[in-house]
Structures are given as structure tokens and as C-alpha cells.
Amino acid sequence: LHPAQVLPFAQVSSEVKRQVTQRAAEKLAIEAANEKLASLEKDPKNASGFASPVWISRNKPGNLLGPSLDQVMTVSPDKLPALVSVSNPGAGMTIYRIDQVRQPSNSDPKILKAQAGQIQALAAQSEFAGFMSYWRNSADVKVINPLKAPSNSSGS
């Protein structure tokens, strides 16, 4: 192991410049997005600047992931068209426009029951893994040969 050290400016100047430029660009992008959001909120019928409409659902989220999908799915169907802004760290902000909300036309009870079972099983697995991890850490246990390699994904 090497102790921490202060590197000469010549070695780090390009990285410092890149990071400062990226932060400034992100700040400008957020300011521009906030201005666009304010103008869109004044004129909700204006759809200029948006891509063509796409249908999404929790089962078929398209290219929406994580916080974006959660924010879009929490829009009240009583206030349409609705605008949702989602912060994208390192990139700025994304604005989504929701024009319609549809309820599933035919919800198959078997599919809903299977989905609920899968969600319950995943929640139980996650809770049990956390429980075991807590006790492993408390007892200072180290797993030498795990049965399978630990995954870095959140499972979603």
C-alpha cells in the first residue's frame, strides 16, 4: 500500500480541468432545463422539443430506469398533461411529458398473483440477505469460498 500523497499540478491539471468543465456544463444544463420547465408549465399544451410519444408500463419500462420510472409512474392522472423533471447526476436533468394514463385493459388474476408472489419472494430474499450480512459482520465472519460469486446488481 502506498500512503496518500499530493501529486504535482502538472500531473493532475488535465483531470482537474475536465472535472471543472463537466461540473460547469452540468450546472448550465440544469439551468437550461429549469428555464424550459418553467416555460412549459406556463403553456402546458406546448409539446415542442419532446421526442415522439412512447407507451411505458412497469412491465415494459422502455428506456426508463430507477428514479425516472418512479417519478413518471407517480403522476396523478387528474392533472394531464403533466411534466416531470428528474435529476441525472453528472448529466443534468431530464424533462418528461405525460399525456395519457391507461389502466390495464385485462388484468389476468393469475399473472397478478404470480407477480405478487415473485415480489414477495424477492423481498424475503433481500431481507434475509441483509439479516445474514448483519450477523456475519457482527461476528467478524469471513466467507472464504462462497457458493456463488456475489453480484453487484440490485436485482432490478
Highest mean pLDDT among 42-51, 87-96, 126-135: 126-135
Residues 91 and 23 in one domain: yes
Helix ranges, the chain (H) = 9-42, 66-73, 109-138
Domain that holds residue 45: 9-98
**What's 80's DSSP letter?**
-
Residues 114 and 69 in one domain: no
Confidence of residue 49 (pLDDT cuts 50, 70, 90): confident
Q: Do residues 77 and 95 touch, judged by C-beta distance below 8 A?
A: no
Residues 122 and 60 in one domain: no
Residues 14 and 55 in one domain: yes
pLDDT digits (tens, 9 = 90+) for 1-31: 577 888 888 988 999 999 999 999 989 988 9
Give pTM, 2 decimals: 0.58
